[in-house]
């Protein structure tokens, strides 16, 4: 068992330093888990850490998923086979630049829902989830012969609230389900007071200023082990901003400082991976700031699993700390697909294939995504505006980006960050059709704006009155078919389809030069979003998603493209 003795961790009664790296199984295709864990151990780490996102495992209420990329038990067992210990951070909230911080969007259908506190309905849903999740984790604890040495309670709670009863109830749910390994909380050094429990290990999250961070821990809980549960060695990127990097030597220097001070640490991230599907999160401070698809994070391994200079520098420090020479590199480089281009030869307007991609709903008022029992994707809203004239629409309730059409003609794109919220439009006929196609670009994952409902979240104020009687198409694109037979509408968004022929599958990067904004699907798997504003210019396509022979490539292009071709290249372009 992992225990503490003063400032020291003890494992099976012997002093132990936690040398851990984060790999999120839900951001890596399962076929590559073993490779990433091998590289973690070869670098000199003895432990792997992962979050467990609630929304990944219960995407709909009562629909529990623990297979494929969601097979967390297999990931933990594989780590054990590699001789690694495991630290688990099982939500309910994970942040992690993940959609809604890992909380399931269906919680927000209840307009009175309060999250991350002792709210009766919230706690009931959490208990239902833990009743399924925790029995899967309990047998994997070190007390039961497994590799799990510690588990976290909640996450960075001091940055959100002060409900200590809530933290205590999370702890009790663990204990009731047989969780008996070392428990801990994790917060920024200046937020540990509200995020900690008196009888639970307090750990820190930081990227530098080691002495200051340790000093704040000593002041709060004198004589505690110094464990940086998130040593930020890079940072995440958001659309329209620069790609973040951190030098290898600076990372290695701060690591050495922690080791010299007696500290343990978890590298966040050892390997970042990818925000596949619609799972990217967002931040909101002054403005809404969605995270990109790549979660490369300038980690020790690239998004596609390649070893970096930063990996080499950290490897030297870790092996030097253990008095060992750096081992010979026996890791395999990823198999890369030969570069090629294909033409997206088929196309159809979304408006011509609504019946195959959308679920039709009619309601007096526009419903939010959550009101439509929808978590991700898009919603098309439609209503009738009577009377000819110029009318002002208050678009403030739209989340996040909307394309506005009047009588079948595109007139404007609105983004929630736009300063002007009330916009005038010309309605040229006595009876007009107003359509608004709204994209959910990722729910906020941190801070006071966490309850970030999507779609049109309140009725629209049009020409000084509310409009009633709306039609909606919920377009989640989890499992869809396209009908290319109709060619009546030329409007964007449009779906495109092409075929990639592969003799031997390998990793590649999809380059979308000439395309503006949308998503790419490979054999039905959603690779994530692209957007011409960058910084990310390519999408990572792992080889296991391809098959020998013909592979179906589909694109939902939202705004319009000047090309019908896409390329498959050997190098990522993250800006």
The answer to whether 315 and 248 have CB atoms below 8 angstroms apart is: no
Label the pairing between strands 264-271 and 85-89: unpaired
DSSP 155-186: SSGGGT---HHHHHHHHHHHHHTT--SEEEEE
C-alpha torsion 310→313→319→322, nearest 10: -100
- How far is residue 424's CA from residue 303's CA, in Å, rounded to a whole number? 44
Six token digits for residue 33? 């888990």
Instruction: Give me the phi and psi of 296, to 5 degrees please.
Output: -55, -45
H or E element at residue 315: helix 309-321
CA angle 223, 228, 232 (to 5 degrees): 155
- How far is residue 385's CA from residue 433's CA, in Å, rounded to a whole number? 6
Catalytic residue, chosen from 58, 97, 156, 476, is 156
SS3 305: coil
Nearest to 534 by CA among 343, 208, 372, 293: 293
User: CB-based burial of residue 518 (10 Å sphere; 0-12 exposed, 13-18 middle, 19+ buried)?
Assistant: buried
Catalytic residue, chosen from 58, 230, 435, 557, is 230
What does each C-alpha distance from 3 to 7, 16, 182 come to in angstroms? 11, 9, 6
Peptide bond connecting 493 to the previous residue in cis, omega within 30 degrees of 0: yes
Residue 476 annotated in active site = no
Give just the sign of the alpha carbon dihedral 196, 46, 172, 61: positive
- How far is residue 282's CA from residue 336's CA, in Å, rounded to a whole number? 31
What does each C-alpha distance from 535 to 94, 242, 347, 542 come to in angstroms? 25, 6, 27, 20
What does each C-alpha distance from 244 to 27, 145, 233, 281, 549 come to in angstroms? 19, 40, 10, 17, 37
Six token digits for residue 76? 């933990």
Residue 14 annotated in active site = no
Q: Which residues of 137-175 are buried (b: 16+ CB within 10 A; e: fewer)?
A: bbebbbeeebbbbbbbbbbbbbbbbebeebbbbbbebbe
- How far is residue 396's CA from residue 506's CA, in Å, rounded to a whole number? 45
Q: How far is CA 142 from the centre of its chain?
A: 29
Question: For 395, how many CA atoms within 13 A lie in the half-sphere containing its CB?
Answer: 26
- How far is residue 372's CA from residue 381's CA, in Å, rounded to a whole number? 12
Q: How far is CA 218 from the centre of its chain?
A: 33
Six token digits for residue 134? 């925790």
SS3 229: strand
DSSP, res 251: H
CA angle 477, 568, 551 (to 5 degrees): 50
**Residues marked as catalytic:** 156, 230
């Amino acid at each position: 068992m992992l225990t503490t003795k003063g400032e020291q961790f003890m494992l099976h009664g012997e002093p132990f330093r936690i040398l851990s790296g984060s790999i999120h199984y839900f951001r890596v295709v399962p076929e590559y888990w073993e490779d990433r864990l091998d590289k973690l151990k070869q670098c000199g780490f003895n432990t792997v850490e992962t979050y467990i996102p609630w929304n990944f495992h219960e995407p709909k209420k009562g629909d529990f998923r623990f297979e494929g990329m969601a097979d967390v038990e297999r990931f933990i067992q594989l780590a054990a086979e590699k001789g690694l210990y495991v630290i688990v951070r099982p939500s309910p909230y994970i942040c992690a630049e993940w959609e809604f911080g890992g909380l399931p969007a269906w919680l927000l259908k209840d307009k009175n829902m309060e999250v991350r506190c002792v709210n009766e309905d919230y706690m009931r849903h959490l208990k239902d989830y833990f009743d399924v999740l925790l029995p899967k984790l309990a047998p994997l604890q070190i007390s039961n012969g497994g590799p799990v040495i510690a588990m976290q309670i909640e996450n960075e709670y001091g940055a959100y609230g002060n409900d200590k009863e809530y933290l205590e109830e999370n702890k009790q749910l663990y204990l009731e389900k047989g969780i008996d390994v070392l428990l801990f909380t994790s917060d920024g050094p200046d937020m540990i007071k509200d995020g900690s429990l008196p009888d639970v290990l307090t750990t820190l999250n930081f990227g530098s200023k080691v002495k200051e961070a340790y000093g704040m821990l000593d002041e709060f809980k004198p004589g505690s082990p110094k464990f940086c549960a998130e040593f930020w060695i890079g940072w995440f990127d958001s659309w329209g901003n620069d790609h973040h990097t951190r030098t290898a030597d600076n990372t290695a220097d701060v690591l050495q400082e922690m080791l010299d001070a007696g500290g343990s640490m978890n590298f966040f991230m050892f390997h970042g991976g990818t925000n596949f599907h619609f799972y990217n999160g967002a931040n909101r401070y002054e403005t809404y700031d969605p995270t990109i698809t790549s979660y490369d994070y300038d980690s020790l391994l690239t998004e596609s699993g390649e070893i970096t200079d930063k990996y080499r520098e950290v490897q030297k420090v870790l092996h030097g700390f253990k008095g060992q020479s750096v081992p010979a590199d026996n890791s395999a480089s990823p198999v890369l697909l030969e570069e090629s281009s294909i033409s997206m030869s088929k196309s159809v307007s979304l408006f011509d294939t609504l019946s195959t991609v959308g679920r039709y709903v009619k309601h007096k008022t526009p419903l939010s995504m959550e009101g439509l029992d929808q978590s991700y994707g898009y919603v098309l809203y439609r209503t009738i505006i009577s009377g000819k004239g110029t009318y002002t629409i208050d678009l403030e309730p739209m989340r996040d980006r909307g394309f506005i059409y009047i009588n079948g003609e595109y007139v404007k794109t609105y983004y929630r960050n736009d300063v002007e919220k009330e916009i005038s439009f010309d309605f040229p006929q006595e009876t007009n059709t107003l359509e608004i196609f709204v994209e959910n670009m990722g729910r906020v994952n941190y801070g006071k704006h966490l309850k970030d409902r999507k779609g049109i979240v309140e009725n629209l104020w049009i020409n000084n009155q509310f409009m009633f009687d709306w039609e909606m198409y919920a377009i989640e694109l989890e499992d869809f078919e396209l009908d290319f037979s109709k060619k009546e509408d030329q409007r964007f968004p449009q779906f495109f389809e092409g075929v990639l022929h592969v003799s031997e599958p390998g990793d590649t990067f999809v380059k979308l030069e000439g395309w503006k904004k949308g998503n790419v699907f490979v054999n039905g798997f959603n690779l994530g979003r692209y957007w011409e504003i960058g910084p990310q210019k390519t999408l990572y396509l792992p080889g296991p998603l391809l098959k020998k022979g013909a592979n179906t490539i589909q694109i939902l292009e939202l705004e319009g493209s000047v090309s019908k071709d896409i390329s498959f290249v050997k190098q990522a372009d993250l800006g």
